[in-house]
Structure 1
Amino acid sequence: MKRLSTLTLLITLTVLLIAACGAKKDNNNGGTQDPAASPTEDVSNLPGQAAWDAIKASGKLRIGTEGTYAPFTFHDESGKLTGFDVEIAEEIAKRLGLKAEFIETSWDSIIAGLDAERFDTIFNQVGITDERKEKYDFSDDYIVSKAVLIVAEDNTDIKTFADLKGKKSGQSLTSNLADIARENGAEIVTTDGFNQAIDLLASGRIDATVNDGLSFLDLKKQKPDLPLKIVDEAPDAAKNAALFRKGNEAMIEAVNGALAEIKSDGTYLKISEKYFGADVSK
C-alpha cells in the first residue's frame, strides 16, 4: 500500500508538471494574455478608424473642390482638372494607396457637401479660421497666402480696406475673405467664386473684391493687360489646409503623414514651384 501510494503521488506530480509546461508554452506562442500586460500599445483605435478602414477598402478618396479657382483648382485647355490643390491631393491619395476622386461643386455649397458626406475631405484653398474649427477639423496647413484688395486700374477712391465702406465688393458668401469686406463696411455682392468676381469687377458692376493674392498674381501672369490692380494687403498671412468632418482623426493622421512625406522628399516643392515659382508653405 505504501508503494502504491508513492507511485500514485509521482504520477499526479508528473501530470501537473506537464500541464504547467503546456500552459507556459501556450502563453509564449500567442495564448490568451491579460491585455494590460501586453508590451505593445494598440494605436489603431483612433476616432473614425472604422470610417477610414472603409475608405481604404473602397480604394478611393472622395475630394470636394471647385474646379474654377486657378491656380488652385481649375480646368486646363484640354478640359482636365488640375491645379496646385488638385496635384497636392492626388499625391497624398497616391501615398495612401488610394485614387483621388474629385467632386466639383461651387464654393458656397462645398462645405454643405462635406456635411452631407458627398465627399470625405475638401482640398480647395480652405482658410483655417476659429469659426470653422468649432465644427470641422483641418489637416496640417499646406499653403500660406494673403488676402488682397483688388480694384479697377483707374480707381482712385479705394486705397485701403477701410475705403470699402459703402462700396460694392464681389464675394463668395461663405468665404473668410467676405468677412474682411463685411467688417470694413462693404456692400456684399454675391459671386460664385474668384472668376465671377473678377468678371464683375472688370465690367464695372462692382467696385472691388477681397481675394487671394496668389490667385490674382496668377491671373495677371495669364492676362497681363487686365486693367485691375492690388491696392491693399492683409497684414497677416492665412494658413490653408484640407477640411474634414469632426471625428475623423484616423484619416487626418494618415493625410498628415502623407503630407509630411511629400514635403520631406521634395515633391511638394516641385508642385509649388510649378504653379508659383516659390515655396508657398511658408
Structure 2
Amino acid sequence: MRAVYARALAVPALLLLPLAVAACGADPVLAPKAGTAGTAPAATGSPAGTGPSINLGPDQKRLRTEKVAAIAAQVPAAVAEDGRLTVGFNGEGAPPLVFPATDDTTLIGAETDLAQLVADVLGLEFAPQTTSWENLFLATKSSKYEVVFNNVTVTEERKDTYDFATYRIDQLGWQVTASSPIKEIAKPADIAGLRVSVGSGTNQEKILLDWDKQNRAAGLKPVEILYYQKYGDVLLALKSGRVQAYFGPNPAIAYNIAVSGDSRIVGTASGAGPSLQGLIAAMTKKDNGLVKPLNEALNTVIQNGRYREVLDRWGLGNEAIPKSEINPPGLPRQAE
C-alpha cells in the first residue's frame, strides 16, 4: 500500500483530518498542525461524539501485554540477540495508522500500538525506525528492519520476497455527510445517479467504474464522478453538496469522522475488489524464521483482547480479523 502525504493548517469541522493515507493507491488526508488540540472524539466506523478521546500527544500510555515465553523462544537468534524488535514505518505519516504526535517526533497510531504489543509478547524492546515507503521493502529485504507494520497489503508478487502475518482487512469506505439521506451503499444500484468523488488511478476508482458500467447496462442512471486532487477538497465538496458521497480508504474516513463527527460511513468494500478480501500484514524477510512467532504473537493479542482495544482506540474496529494467518492468498500478480 502506497501512501501520499500532505501537511495542512488546522481547519474547521469536517476538515479536521491528518496527513495522507493510501490503500493500494489512495487519496490524500489532511492533518491537524502540530501543537493544535490534542484530543478528538473516538470513532468506530460510525458518527463520533461519544466515547474516549484520541490522544495525539507523545505520551501515548500505550496498551501493553505480557511476554509469552513459548513464543519468544521461537524468535530467531539473529533477531533476539540484541533484545530489540526493529520495526520499520513510513515516517511521513498516515493517520490513524502511523503519524507524528504533536511533538512532530514521536510516532503514534494503530500500527505502532500493534507493533508494541507484538514486541511485548516476543519479550523484545520495541525499536521503531522510519524511512520512505519504497525503502521499507529494501530495508526489510536487507534485514535492516526485522519487520514492517505499515499498512502493507499481501500480494502474490510480494510473497516471492517477503513473509506476511496478517492483522487487519484492507477496507474501503463510503463517506456521506451526517445529514445525508443516503442510508446504505452496498451494491451498484445504490449509487445510480449520485455525484461521487473518488481518487484517480486507485483501486476504488476501478470498482466505482465497474459499478457504473453495471448500472448503465441495467438501464439505471449513470454516476457523475468528480475528481479532486486533495482529500480536503473532497470534504469541502461533501459539505457544500457538490458531492453526495466519497469512496476511499476506510482508515482515513474513520479518522475524519473521529475528529469531526460531521459525516458517516454508509458502506464498506474490500480494497482488493469484489472477488478477494484484501489483507494487511506484518512483513518480514522471506524464510528468516520470524513470521511464525509474529503470527503467534498477533493471535495472542487477538485472543487476550488487546488487539481489539487498539483498533477501537483508533476507530478501526471494523477492520478487525478473527485470526492472524501466514501468507494467505494475496492480490493477484500484475499482467505482464
Q: TM-score, normalised to structure 2's length? A: 0.50
CA distance in 2, matches of 1:110, 1:98: 21
CA distance in 2, matches of 1:209, 1:114: 34
1:107 to 2:142 alignment: no
Please say which structure displays the higher CA radius of gyration.
1
Residue type of the alignment partner of 1:221? A
Q: 1:64 aligns to what?
A: 88
Question: CA offset at residue 269 of structure 1?
Answer: 2.2
Q: 1:276 to 1:148 in 2, by over 3 A?
A: closer
Correspondence list, 1:106-255, <5 A: 106-139=132-165, 141-148=166-173, 169=199, 178-181=202-205, 197-199=230-232, 201=234, 211-224=248-261, 233-234=268-269, 236=274, 237-248=277-288, 250-255=289-294
CA distance in 1, matches of 2:143, 2:200: 29
Residue type of the alignment partner of 2:298? L
* Ranges in structure 2 where 5+ consecutive residues have no aligned partner: 1-73, 179-189, 210-226, 238-242, 323-336
Residue type of the alignment partner of 2:269? A
Which digits, 9 at most, give the CA deviation of each residue in 1:215-234, with x for residues without a partner?
21112221345xx8879743
1:54 to 2:84 alignment: no
Residue type of the alignment partner of 1:275? W
**May I ask how many residue pairs the two structures share in their alignment?**
212
Correspondence list, 1:259-270, <5 A: 259-270=298-309
Residue type of the alignment partner of 1:137? D
Is the CA contact (8 Å cut-off) linking 2:198 and 2:248 kept in structure 1? no
Deviation >4 Å, runs of 4+: 149-153, 182-185, 199-204, 207-210, 228-233
Q: 2:314 aligns to what?
A: 275
Could you say what secondary structure the match of 2:231 adopts? helix
Q: TM-score, normalised to structure 1's length? A: 0.58
Which digits, 9 at most, give the CA deviation of each residue in 1:15-63, with x for residues without a partner?
xxxxxxxxxxxxxxxxxxxxxxxxxxxxxxx9xx8xx212100111111
More helix as a share of residues = 1
CA distance in 1, matches of 2:308, 2:174: 28
Which digits, 9 at most, give the CA deviation of each residue in 1:107-160, with x for residues without a partner?
344323323433111101222222322332101x2112422467999xxxxx96
Q: 2:66 aligns to what?
A: none
Instruction: Kindly report the root-mean-square deviation, in angstroms, between the aligned alpha carbons of the 2 structures.
Output: 4.2
| Equivalent of residue 86 in structure 1, options 92, 108, 112 | 112
Residue type of the alignment partner of 1:169? G
CA distance in 2, matches of 1:152, 1:108: 35
Greater length-normalized contact order (CA 8 Å, ≥ 6 residues apart): 2
Is the CA contact (8 Å cut-off) linking 1:76 and 1:82 kept in structure 2? yes
CA distance in 2, matches of 1:244, 1:276: 26
CA distance in 2, matches of 1:251, 1:130: 19
| Equivalent of residue 75 in structure 1, options 97, 100, 114 | 100
CA distance in 2, matches of 1:210, 1:118: 36
Q: Percent identity?
A: 21
Q: 1:107 to 1:137 in 2, by over 3 A?
A: same
Is the CA contact (8 Å cut-off) linking 1:170 and 1:210 kept in structure 2? no
Q: 2:296 aligns to what?
A: 257
CA distance in 2, matches of 1:115, 1:210: 34
Which digits, 9 at most, give the CA deviation of each residue in 1:61-84, with x for residues without a partner?
111112411111122324431111
Question: CA offset at residue 278 of structure 1?
Answer: 3.4
